[in-house]
Amino acid sequence: MDNAQLLISGLANGCVYGLIALGFVLIYKATEAVNFAQGDFMMLGAFVTIGLTNTEYMGLPFWLALPISLGIMGALGYLVDRLIIRRLFGESQTAVVILTIALGFVIRFAAGLIWGHEPQTLQNPLAGKDIRFGGLVLGMEDVAVIVVTVLLTWGLYVFFSKTKLGLAMQGASQNQLAAYYMGIPVKRVQGFIWALAGVVAGIAGILFAAKGSVDPTTGLLGIKAFAAAVIGGFGSLPGALAGGLIVGVIEPFASRYIAAGYSQIAPYALLLAVLIFRPHGLFSQVRVKKV
Amino acid sequence: MRIVFKTNYMQDLRPWKDGYQLGLYLILLAVAAAAPWWLDDFYLGELTNVLIWAIAGLGLMILTGHTGQASLGHAAFLAVGCYANVVMIEAGVPFLVAFPVAGLLTGIVGATVAIPALRLHGIYLAIFTLALSVLMDDIIVLAEPITGGVAGKYLGGVEIFGHLVDRWATPSQFFWLVLAVAIIVTLGYINLLRSSLGRSFIAVRDSEVSAQAMGVDIARTKTISFALSCAVTGLAGALMGLFAGAFNNETFSVVISIQLLMMIVIGGLGSIHGAFLGAIVIGFLPQFLSISKEYAAALLGGNAVAIPGLEFGIFGMILIAFILFEPMGLYGRWLKIRTWFELFPFYRKDMFKRQKSYLKTERLR
Amino acid sequence: MSLLEYENVTLKFGGLTAVDNLSFDVQEGEVFAIVGPNGAGKSTVFNLISRFYDPYAGSIQFDGHDLLRVKASAVAAFGVARTFQNIELFEHATVLQNLLVGRHRHRRTNLISEILFTPSARRQEIENREKIEEIIDFLDLQAFRDKMISGLPYGVRKVVEVARALATEPKLLLLDEPASGLSVEETTDMRWWIDDIRRQMGITVLMVEHDMGLVSGVSDRVLAMADGAKLALGTPAEVQSHPAVIEAYLGKAS
Ligand SMILES: Nc1ncnc2c1ncn2[C@@H]1O[C@H](COP(=O)(O)OP(=O)(O)OP(=O)(O)O)[C@@H](O)[C@H]1O
Ligand SMILES: [Mg+2]
């Protein structure tokens, strides 16, 4: 019973990691760049929503604030691409890595200026409610996190692998020049993907802030989400979710059953092991580069 | 414009262009070596700090700037060098032995880490090294018997030929020690770049396939690059430990790793100058910010308020500006300015223009 | 004597057979050309020699060595140099540095002597430089010696790539489409250079080329390929009039 409780809370955490990882993967698939600021995007999404809903700030009704903040996050993602990333077309991956890390610094700084450095929680309609299930007590927030994440991942997966538009976008990422010749508006696709990643980060942020508290350094959670994305194999959306769940579940179990001091190492040790033995993730086949 | 007529191959082989340039560098060196006479102790300490960061930057430059392997985990190697040095000194090994051995040990650790890292490219390598840096923190805590864990370690000065060299008691001596190490490392780096190995690093950075076709063994070259890079970083770590005096698991955190990488990007990837210029920015930015905050406060009336994260916020913005507008860093900017003066009034804007290309896929299709 | 021997080599990429049971040999001192429509597997033939891929079956021998038993970097050490279809130069280095990388296989110094830049390292650098200057003179690259590759026009890059390959002092030179994208004048230059490389330097040349004028002008023998397999092998005239070759090209055109 105890283990089941651990499992559920691990899954809920894992979903948040999975959502951030989803953002990484979206952008990686489309632009072959990694957005190291994705975790900070999430933190920002949380704060934007807090700023709109919480009574000490604007105090809008939750269900009104929700679409507004997702819209803001989408616009932000689009602007980041439009104003910054797009200029790096053709530069090395390293340049983008460093740039997005720097962007993370700036976002953290800005969030601290606007909302302060105290941990805050999102006031939301689900707060404090729970579901009892035999002996199990499930927080409504946890349930919401799991449901929303699964639906979102499924939706994105269907979009990218089944719809015409989604497939065209995949094409754009795999070979930009060829896609360009085929009439796919490569740049617009890229902007759309960044906007989408912003929205996903916003959703992750809202769920996270509903479950626990956020402060400007919360975005550093992104490192764990990286582990998730890598474990899942950087190119696959369901893989990202699976990776997130693995990391999320390992954490509570490790801290329960492994000596303190060693337990927090678990996700990173797993990450290193995966990188060493299966550099392209647990769920992918290795292929060679074409010269 | 100064035109150097070349009459023999040594002119291209030696590190300076002509007597004029050599003279400039010698003057710079003399001015630096005389710093204890023209700087007060506070700024001498700051300068020492900048030089230590520059040495660390040179270490990372070998790997990232010249071999093209981005590392987000070099603080881990700073830590290895620092602890190795201190542990040996505590065991009674004289500093002049402990110090190079600490570098050597860090190099060996680096080569060992390189082996699994060889198969990783681009972001995967960045993530791998990032994880390493995160883990290092925990490893130091776990290895408490050696490292002192969370309580950390404390080290006073060291003795060199009976002289006390200590950051607080004898700041000038400590400065000269750091300066000497910086010079030696720089000279070795220059030599590396003008011979075969250094060129094979550049070859691996720019095109692995054609490096291979020219007979460069990629795995070996990357391993050597890792080893050299980590060895130099280890030396910097040892000096950092001496400079800080006290340190624990949090001294060499991931943030330091990231700062180091950003530093060489700002300075200019792929150039020795870049490591020094970047270190100057990193070293003096906090000073600069606190001074300008006081000015702002005086101007606007009121007290200078502490803004947490300001340093990193500004730092992030500088970095974004550099990557967008001057990807070659400060050194690249300097080259342009110099060329502008040399060619005045014939400088053309597209002189340093690089071709923009479509995304070069690094993904394994 | 045959310098390079390709025997029943097959390579598959997933379901696609890029090289299909291909055999041919290149004689010492000749210029051997490979022609074929796009996607015929010509570059793949080169990449197999460079050991970028492991063939599915068959053997590749060079100068008495079994290439399939060594790693990619060892191929150059035997005396094989190459250029790439999509130019793979070291972008952020000067022409001189690029050519000097070509000297890598003649390196006699080690890490320590290079870091100390001992007299032996210095001597080696000067020797390297003398050799490079010969090549620079041969290919008329004097004006570009200290220029960065990233600022060079396409035609010059193609020549620099040939120069870098020559700097290794190879026995066999592989040229992947040396004239593609070049102007008529540049193509003529390339033609004389290939001739001289063979005659003056005594280097065997294996090249892939679409320009039939260049192919029939310089090559002794031609191999025509389609879909990874051999269509015809013989003198340029024989191959051009071979029914299977005509059909493959016309079939592609219609
Ligand atoms: N690394 C790879 N992975 C998958 N398929 C590949 C790879 N390399 C080549 N191919 C495929 O193998 C076939 C032969 O390719 P190759 O590059 O050898 O053709 P080519 O004859 O050089 O054509 P071109 O004249 O266009 O240069 C092509 O269909 C190509 O798509
Ligand atoms: Mg080809």
Tens digit of pLDDT for each residue in C37-82? 988 999 999 999 999 999 999 999 999 999 999 999 999 999 999 9
Please report the domains of chain C, with CATH numbers, ordered by start residue. 1-79+170-254 (3.40.50.300), 87-169 (3.40.50.300)
Question: Which amino acid type is present at position B9?
Answer: Y
pLDDT of A289 reads: 47
Q: Tell whether A114 is covered by a domain.
A: yes
Per the domain annotation, does B239 fall within a domain? yes
pLDDT, position B364: 35
Query: At A58, is the secondary structure helix, strand, or coil?
Result: coil
CA dist A44 and C164 (Å) reads 51
Q: Write the residue in B72, B134, B323 that is nearest to A95 by C-beta.
A: B323
User: How much distance in Å is there from the Cα of C17 to the middle of ligand 1?
Assistant: 10
CB pairs under 8 A between A and C: 8
Identify the three-state secondary structure at position A168: helix
Token pair for residue A164? 């015409």
Ligand 2: centre distance to CA B331 (Å): 39
Residue B187 lies in a domain: yes
> Does some domain include residue A170?
yes
Label each residue of A80-100 as H, E or C: HHHHHHHHHCCCCHHHHHHHH
Q: Cβ contacts (< 8 Å) between A291 and chain C: which residues? A: 43, 47, 52, 84, 86, 88
CA–CA separation, A118 and B306 (whole Å)? 15
Q: Tokens 């283990």 identify what position?
A: A3
Q: A224 lies in a domain?
A: no
- Asked if residue C40 has its Cβ within 6 Å of ligand 1, the reply is yes
Structural contact between residues A139 and A220, judged by C-beta atoms closer than 8 angstroms? no
Contact B336, B352 (CB under 8 A): yes
Q: Pick the ligand that lies closest to the CA of residue C84.
A: 2
Count of C-beta atoms within a 10 Å radius of residue C202: 10
CA–CA distances in Å: residue C199 to residues C29, C62, C163, C172 = 8, 21, 16, 13
**Ligand 2 centroid to residue A249 C-alpha, Å:** 49
3-state secondary structure of C184: helix
Q: How many B/C residue pairs have CB atoms within 8 Å?
A: 118
* Distance from the first to the final alpha carbon of chain A: 55
Nearest ligand 1 atom to the CA of A290 is 1
| Residue B316 counted as domain residue | no
- Whether residue B231 is contained in a domain is answered as yes
| Reduced DSSP (H G I as helix, E B as strand, rest coil) percent helix, strand, coil of chain C, to 5 | 45, 25, 30
The reported pLDDT for the residue numbered A288 is 47
Residue B328 lies in a domain: no
Per DSSP, the three-state class of C174 is strand
Rounded-to-integer distance, Cα B160 and Cα B163, Å:
5
Question: Is A261 contained in some domain?
Answer: no
Burial class (CB in 10 A: 0-12, 13-18, 19+), A52: buried
> Does residue C36 have its Cβ closer than 6 Å to ligand 1?
yes
The ranges of chain C with pLDDT < 70 are 250-254
Contacts of A110 in chain B (CB under 8 A): 313
Q: Is C43 in the pocket of ligand 1 (CB under 6 A)?
A: yes
Amino acid code (one letter) for B14: R
In a domain, B345, yes or no: no
Using alpha carbons, select from C205, C247, C248, C212 the residue that is nearest to residue C228. C248
**Closest approach atom of ligand 1 to CA C40:** 21
Q: Taking CB atoms and an 8 Å cutoff, what residues of chain C touch B65?
A: none
| Residue B271 included in any domain | no
Query: Hey, are the CB atoms on B191 and C114 less than 8 Å from each other?
Result: yes
Residues facing residue C13 across a β-bridge: C16
Please indicate whether, in this complex, the C-beta atoms of B9 and C129 are within 8 angstroms of each other: yes
Atom 12 in ligand 1: residue holding the nearest Cα: C18
B353 vs C196: which has the higher pLDDT: C196
In a domain, A167, yes or no: yes
The interface pTM score, or ipTM, of the predicted complex is 0.92
Domain containing A96: what range?
12-218
Q: How many domains does chain A have?
A: 1
Check if the beta carbon of residue B176 is closer than 8 Å to that of residue B48.
no
Cβ of A287 below 6 Å from ligand 1: no
A110 → chain B, closest CA residue: B313
* Residue B277 pLDDT level (bands cut at 50, 70, 90): very high
The contacts found for B47-50 with CB under 8 angstroms, 24 or more apart, are: B47/B175, B47/B283, B48/B167, B48/B171, B48/B174, B48/B175, B48/B178, B48/B243, B49/B243, B49/B283, B50/B279, B50/B280, B50/B282, B50/B283, B50/B284
CA distance to partner chain B, nearest, from residue A112 (Å): 8
Query: A83 — contact with chain C (CB < 8 Å)?
Result: no
SS3 C81: strand
Cβ neighbour number for residue B330 with a 10 Å cutoff:
21
pLDDT at B362 over 60: no
Which residues does chain A have with pLDDT short of 70? 1, 90, 171-183, 283-291
Cβ-in-10-Å burial (0-12, 13-18, 19+) of C29 comes to middle
- Domain extent, residue B57, equals 18-252
Partners of C174 in beta bridges: C82, C206
Is there a domain that residue A226 lies in? Answer: no
Name the domain count of chain B: 1
Contact C72 B197 (CB under 8 A): no
For residue B265, give how far its alpha carbon lies from the nearest alpha carbon of chain A (Å): 8
Residue A26: its pLDDT value, please?
87
Banded model confidence at residue B4, pLDDT cuts 50, 70, 90 = low
Which positions in chain A touch B360 (Cβ < 8 Å)?
90
Q: How far is CA C109 from the centre of its chain?
A: 27
Is residue C38 lining ligand 1, measured as CB closer than 6 Å?
Answer: yes
Indicate which residue's Cα is closest to atom 31 of ligand 1.
Answer: C39
Which chain A residues are Cβ-neighbours of C53 within 8 angstroms? 288
Q: Is A279 on the interface with B (CB under 8 A)?
A: yes
Residue B247 lies in a domain: yes
Q: Which ligand is nearest to the CA of C35?
A: 1
CA of C85 to the centre of ligand 2 (A): 6
Q: How does residue B354 score in pLDDT terms, banded at 50, 70 and 90?
A: low
Minimal C-alpha gap between A91 and chain C (Å): 12
Which pLDDT does position B105 carry in this prediction?
Answer: 97
Q: Is residue A46 part of a domain?
A: yes
Ligand 2 center–CA A72 separation, angstroms: 48
Establish if A38 belongs to a structural domain. Answer: yes
